[in-house]
Structure 1
Amino acid sequence: WWTLTGSHVTVQIGQCGNQLGEQFFSALGSEEHGSDPLWISHPNFFREISRRRDRKRSRCRAVLVDAEPRVVSEICQTSLAPARSKSWLYPELDEAIVKSWNKVGSSGSANNWAYGYKQQGDAMGECVLESVRKEVENCDCLDSFFFLQSLAGGTGSGLGSLCSELLRDEYPARFQLHAVVWPYSSGDVVVQAYNSTLSLSHLLDSSDGILCLHNDEAHDICSKLLGVPRPSLSHLNQVLADQLASLFFPVRSRLAKTEPERAIKMSELLSSLCSSPLHKLLSLRCLPHIPKRSLAFTKLRWEAVLNPLAQMQLTGWHMDEGLDWSMSPSSGSYNRAIAAMLLLRGEGWQEAETKRFKDCLHAGWSERGDNLQVLGSPQQFKGLERSSCILANCQSQAKLLDKLLERTAALRTARAFLHQYERYGTSEEDVDEAMAGLEQVISDYHHL
């Protein structure tokens, strides 16, 4: 596998971001890549360890950020376990981050965006910047920053928002892609609507693209398709990590049959899908979802993978169970997209029929199919004979934003819990401004 250089520094923030990041790197490192170490097969995300005796091992290009030491310490220790030592490990915890724990008292952010943004930001912001600078110095050519964070709590949402702004100021020419995890719609954090609204409002200003991942959708996939009766957070993270990893294995364009395969750089991905500053929300849909115990007995043709995936994109649904097959492009009301990237993995991908995607993926001002890129590789992913995913900048996330604003407005009208945010410098006007910004985003997507 050959890849173009262009390094991605992953910034894992908060408990959710760090746990998801660990499983994301595990997914990248678990696939067969011949005798090459990961720093050769995946130089975008891994770098060489300088010690000669460790040339077969790789160190991921990552910065681990949290307001308390428990999770990041456990993750770093796990990466040193014997079963992992032949593949990859995390960088050692940076001293600047360790010292910052003394400033914040090694405690969480009480599920408060304002506390994470202001209190933790004041204590940890410069320390995070210093840690990122050290990791950037190990890059021959920095391409982008890849953030992993949650929207519901305080550290991932609040401190994550501040870190995005700090890195935008420090590295204005580098791209930022944020993979954000939306909380359960019936989550147990009563102020998660405030946190999500404030976080998204800030990230829409500082980032180049926001890839929305959803706990509700991952839970459905686990319980209904993978046969997990009571999905844990680890199960959800595994589904989300596999979906993210599927984007970054080497591919080539269907139009460039003689070119070698290479990994997609985030700068290319964001330039292609998020060219409009008014539209930055990305959706990721993948098929098939098959339990490991059933892989050996499952044979799928390309039509069986791509037809449901096209209908999922058309309807904005997240899995091939419960699909509305009655909706079609001729109905007029469907999930319109500005741009999309379709990735196919498996034998015969060049001949797979993708016309259905061209028929349904276009905004009102574009020609059918002009905004669809088709890329692929004969290499299998996760033992699946044939698999596919589609990354699209489309209207489906705007509908979820609408529901989020309804919950935020209900809290705001009752002035519920606002005093907890005012204590750390976030006023009613700040909440109103964030809501107004998201309302404008919803309007922009509805007018596609």
Structure 2
Amino acid sequence: MSTVWLQVGQCGNQIAQELWHTLGLVDGSCRKIDRNPFCSRDGKLSAVCVDSESKVIKKMQKQMKKGLFRESNLIVGKQGRGKNWACGYNKPLNSEESLLYKTMERLRKEVELRDCYSGTVLFHSLSGGTGAGLGSHLCEEIRDEYPLGQILSVAVAPYQTGECPLQHYNILLCLSWLQRYTDGIFLFYNDDVLRRALASMGKKNIRVLSQVSLLSMNTYIADCVAGLLFPVSNFEPTRGQVFWDSMVSSVTHFLDPESSTGSPHYSTSLLSVARSNHCSLIQPQSSAMKKLQRAYGCVSWNPFPLSLWTASCDMRDPTGQRHSLTVCANHSSIVDLLKHTLEKAQKMYSAKAYIHWYRQYGCGEGDFEQAFDTLSSVEAEYCSAGE
């Protein structure tokens, strides 16, 4: 009971909702509430849900098990943020009615309920006004208020082809804030999630992409988050034959071997989480883990690039028959997103396109210049790390 879960904007609330479904908290299939790291002692989720519009949260209320949330932790604004980072970040600040104030107050109360507060997990989008703008400001406020707590962002990047004319500015500004104020980012790309959700449906024809629902994509992301964040306890491996090599092939199937410029992709570190009642063949030096390191292109200068966590049970499978492998990588494919965002945002900024939309909410040249510098530095560090 050391973590607070913060759901911000439409995307963040929908993904978190699927996470609670995946973990069996909504339908009651999770029976060990007193030991559940996602809930307080009274059985209510340690989550604060905020959005500038009521549609998603009202829908979530109807679908959620009655009493799962504290009613006071469902925070709704009266007006959207126009898919504008500056509007979400700055509007309004000095009012007890502001979403920022209300959210920080509810987060404070949740922190006070913790036995030992260790940090906050934030679910949000990089492109929406609320998810990106308010999400950025919340990270800044949480870091200032609770400097010793960890902040983990579960962020979703929009389709590269474009969802909104402001998305490149929003991504630029949001990522720069996350770089400054968070301790880690689980980054998902809508394009990549769409391909993987399609594969999970057993379909390979690109023409049926339109058949992949938003729910399927959110479920995929929630499943990945559950695979990483549900606690594990290392145990003595038992005998058994689980085809981990095959699972590694499945996990690495969609990895691009090189960037858009032809440079080989690499990883500076990997976290692999294996859950099964048979883990005898999933040791750090096993063929499966060596195959995983090769597929992710682990850098030679890191002598121990892989961290392996194992667990004998999976909360998502009370029968104990399911086995899963989840991998989190510090992967150089982020450079493609950074390059694309910097290029598009810089062209728009040079042409002064849409700048007045941000300026009217107090976002000036200094904010943009600092964001450009931050992301350019991150890009340069990733490029040099693979040398």
Query: What is the TM-score with the length of structure 2 in the denominator?
Result: 0.85
CA deviation profile, 1:209-258 (whole Å, cap 9, x unmatched): 111011111111222431474122222111111111111334334xx639
Pair 1:69 & 2:50 matched: no
CA deviation profile, 1:156-176 (whole Å, cap 9, x unmatched): 101111111111111000000
CA deviation profile, 1:110-155 (whole Å, cap 9, x unmatched): 1111111111444322221111011112211111100000011101
1:339 is matched with which residue? Answer: 269
2:45 is matched with which residue? Answer: 60
Q: Kindly indicate whether the alpha-carbon contact (under 8 Å) linking 1:29 and 1:38 is maintained by their aligned counterparts in 2.
A: no
Distance of 2:180 and 2:219 partners within structure 1 = 29
Corresponding residue SS for 1:315: coil
How many equivalent residue pairs? Answer: 362
Distance of 2:62 and 2:364 partners within structure 1 = 40
1:158 is matched with which residue? Answer: 133
Distance of 2:341 and 2:323 partners within structure 1 = 36
Q: Kindly indicate whether the alpha-carbon contact (under 8 Å) linking 1:121 and 1:159 is maintained by their aligned counterparts in 2.
A: no
Distance of 2:360 and 2:27 partners within structure 1 = 52
1:127 is matched with which residue? Answer: 102
- Offset at 1:364? 4.7
Which of 303, 324, 329 is the matching residue for 1:387? 324
- Offset at 1:192? 0.4
2:39 is matched with which residue? Answer: 46
1:442 is matched with which residue? Answer: 379
1:19 is matched with which residue? Answer: 14
Distance of 1:307 and 1:407 partners within structure 2 = 34
Q: 1:251 to 1:124 in 2, by over 3 A?
A: closer
Pair 1:376 & 2:305 matched: no
- Offset at 1:310? 5.0
Which of 80, 105, 108 is the matching residue for 1:108? 80
Residue segments in structure 2 that go unaligned for 5+ positions in a row? none
Distance of 1:190 and 1:46 partners within structure 2 = 39
Distance of 2:110 and 2:140 partners within structure 1 = 18
Q: 1:380 to 1:69 in 2, by over 3 A?
A: closer
Which of 412, 417, 431 is the matching residue for 2:354? 417
CA deviation profile, 1:397-447 (whole Å, cap 9, x unmatched): 122211121221221222211111111111234223211210110000111
Pairwise CA RMSD? 2.8
Distance of 1:23 and 1:172 partners within structure 2 = 30
Corresponding residue SS for 1:9: strand
Determine what percentage of the aligned residue pairs are the same residue: 30
User: What letter matches 1:412 in structure 2?
Assistant: Y
1:365 is matched with which residue? Answer: 301
Distance of 1:241 and 1:200 partners within structure 2 = 21
Q: 1:407 to 1:300 in 2, by over 3 A?
A: farther
Q: Kindly indicate whether the alpha-carbon contact (under 8 Å) linking 2:21 and 2:27 is maintained by their aligned counterparts in 1.
A: no
Which of 191, 194, 198 is the matching residue for 1:219? 194
Distance of 1:374 and 1:313 partners within structure 2 = 20
- Offset at 1:377? 2.4
Pair 1:398 & 2:335 matched: yes
Distance of 2:256 and 2:278 partners within structure 1 = 24
Residue segments in structure 1 that go unaligned for 5+ positions in a row? 1-5, 50-57, 259-298, 318-331
Which of 48, 69, 82 is the matching residue for 1:90? 69
Equivalent residues in 2 for 1:148-187 (5 A)?
148-187=123-162
Corresponding residue SS for 1:107: coil
Q: 1:365 to 1:314 in 2, by over 3 A?
A: farther
Which of 356, 376, 384 is the matching residue for 2:291? 356
CA deviation profile, 1:249-273 (whole Å, cap 9, x unmatched): 34334xx639xxxxxxxxxxxxxxx
